[in-house]
Structure 1
Amino acid sequence: MLMAPMGSRLLAILVSLAVALVASHAVLSPEVYWKTVLPNTPMPKVVTDLLHPELTEEKSTSVNVGKGGVNVNTGKPKPGGTSVNVGKGGVNVNTGKGKPRDGGTSVNVGGKGGGVSVGAGGKGKGKSVHVSVGKSPFDYNYAATETQLQEDPNVALFFLEKDLYPGKAMKLYFPQNRETATFIPRQVAEKIPFSSEKFPKILEQFSVKPGSEEAEIMRNTIQECEQPQIQGEDKYCASSLESMIDYSTSKLWRNVQAISTEVEKQTQMKEYTIEAGVKKTEGDKAVVCHKQNYAYAVFYCHESETTRAYMVPLKGADGTKVKAVAVCHTDTSKWNPKHLAFQVLKVKPGTVPVCHFLPQDHIVWVPK
């Protein structure tokens, strides 16, 4: 349980948020924001998976002020929508289906406990985050460790562009991130600290013990977001779906499509064959967003003008079909020479295009 002063500060933030929402009489849910900004862009599966069904089905917004305080609700009034409540029990911000242990995300201030608690994803008791600790293979500043080379399932996702042709067999594994943290509304995300400088406060606010596995996971994500961008790329960490939409459209305009890898059924490492129908997307410019491990959905996005994206149909030896998304980087001269891709493919920076398939929880934004 956290100290009362932290609870008071967050209480003040959320009360201000609720008052602002009441004053505006409207707040768009992430799903409605997508449809408003991108009415002609289908939502990829990874996005719908990170939005609760109640949010994706309901478009109404209600604002109620009464004896119990202030209530702002976007989505269904039942559990699963997005709500900000200020009343006798304190303040509650909830995004998700039911209790946090069911995969939702909630921030509670006040109430019987008097403290602050944040839960996100996962079914395990007492765990706000549950994933492995390690540097992302999709941040090109980092050198791969020996552990990554031996154990990271993403190793199999790297390949050379010359191998992208029908009939090519590859041994692949499309892991599904165990981190089930979902999107929270931008209005809430913008009020939560996200920086190394404020890391102790973040741990306190999220009730995470310093030095724990969860703390290191969160620290790694923040540090990756704060690392300098490599030459030729622009990077941004989106802490909400709305901010990811804004970043991507600022780079590519609104005539975009968002694509992600879709696996027919979850399987282990196996041999896949590239089928006919490999399709290159328009242009050589893309925004690629990688799901990070954090208490709520955070995406590490980077924009590059030296990237080619492909839709690649795959078929496994057991008949499993995959609609895979692959990106090929045509200029790797500024990458870390010890990056995972170079060690796996046995090539040097800046010599040949380096490609990789994307896991299921990543998104590629490309011009239509």
Structure 2
Amino acid sequence: MEYPVNWNSGRRAYIHILNMFFQPKDIYPGAKIKEAISLDRSIVGNAFIPRIEAEAMPFHSNNLSQLLNRYSIEPGSKEAKQIQKSLSHCEAPFPKGAKQFCATSLESMIDNTISELGTPNLQVMSTVLGNRGSKREKIFYKVGSPVVELPQEKFVLCHPVVSPQVVFYCHTAPKFKGYAIPLEGNNGRKVNALAICHYDAKDFNPVFFEMLNVKPSTMPICHFLMEDHLAWTRP
């Protein structure tokens, strides 16, 4: 899995976040994360466009040419291919027992989340960063105390995707487990990290199981959320 650093000036480096995945047993006070990770925003820049504007041109592959024209993006360019990839991600069939949607406005994100969670009483959580250093700085973290297991098991997770307008890919799963994990960086940074564990990971890319040295579908897979990724749940 990978996310662009910046859509506007980005188009350059990618943050590879394979090392942000782990198993629950590996996260405890004092544990060290073996590789440097970045929890900063994965996509920097624009805000949601108004709902009426988003619905006038749905984020769908049928409207690709109109989307490219609207944002002055050349067909066949790297940017165009990135948008095509995001569209394919939004339109891909979802695993049995899970649901997904792509939100192009704040209103659509909230409405769909209310529908999935069955209540208008929502709580949204994310990773909160402390002092900021250079984005190019490699930071190695160790786990602080306490590691708190969240009581909720149902979440709607929303991840930003590559697009010139703000779009979040949101999904559910049969069972999640969340953790609030304090992290301490070797540069002094303090992070209140949010991590989510997937207890039905059979549809994950095999590379994650290889990296964790476990057999597919036998163990839960957890990952940290970057600061602009959201977890909606009931309070």
Of 164, 178, 181 in structure 1, the residue corresponding to residue 27 of structure 2 is: 164
Q: CA deviation at 1:163?
A: 1.2
The CA distance in 2 between the partners of 1:132 and 1:349, in whole Å, is: 33
Q: Residue 190 of structure 1 aligns to a residue in which SS?
A: helix
Q: 1:348 to 1:132 in 2, by over 3 A?
A: farther
Q: Evaluate the alpha carbon distance shift between residue 335 and residue 232 of structure 1 in structure 2; reply closer, same or farther with a 3 A threshold.
A: farther
Choose the corresponding residue for 1:255, options 121, 127, 141: 121
Deviation of 1:203 (Å): 1.6
CA distance in structure 1 between the aligned counterparts of 2:156 and 2:24, rounded to whole angstroms? 19
Instruction: Describe the shift of the 1:318–1:169 C-alpha distance in structure 2 as closer, same or farther (beyond 3 A).
Output: same
1:300 to 143, 150, 169: 169
Deviations 1:184-213 (A, max 9, x none): 111111112321122123222322110111
**Is the partner of 2:113 in helix, strand or coil?**
helix
SS of the residue 1:324 aligns to: strand
Aligned residue among 173, 196, 203 for 1:334:
203
SS at match of 2:140: strand
> Secondary structure, in 3 states, of the residue corresponding to 2:223?
strand
2:58 matched to which residue of 1?
Answer: 193
Aligned residues: 224
CA-CA distance at 1:152 after TM superposition? 4.5
The corresponding residue for 2:16 is: 153
Residue in structure 2 matching 1:276, options 134, 138, 145: 145
Q: Counterpart of 1:270 in 2: which secondary structure?
A: coil
Q: Structure 1 pair 152/349, CA: closer, same or farther in 2 (3 Å)?
A: farther
CA distance in 1, matches of 2:116, 2:150: 16
Contact 2:32–2:143 under 8 Å retained in 1: yes
Unpaired runs of at least 5, structure 2 = 1-5
Where does residue 28 of structure 1 map in the other structure?
Answer: none
Match of 2:39 among 174, 195, 199: 174
- Residue 295 of structure 1 deviates from its aligned partner by 1.0
Greater RCO structure (CA 8 Å; 6+ sep): 2
Q: Percent identity, please.
A: 36
Distance 1:349 1:295 in 2: 35
Q: CA deviation at 1:178?
A: 4.3
Quote the offset at 1:121 in angstroms: 6.9
Any unmatched runs of 5+ in structure 1?
1-119, 125-129, 134-150
Larger radius of gyration: 1
Give the TM-score normalised by the residue count of structure 1: 0.57
Please report the RMSD computed on the Cα atoms of aligned residues, expressed in angstroms: 2.1
Q: TM-score, normalised by structure 2?
A: 0.87
The within-5 A match list for 1:1-368 is 122=8, 130-131=10-11, 152-170=15-33, 171=35, 172-252=37-117, 253-264=119-130, 265-267=132-134, 268-336=137-205, 338=206, 340-368=207-235
Instruction: Tell me if structure 1 keeps the 8 A contact 2:139–2:185.
Output: yes
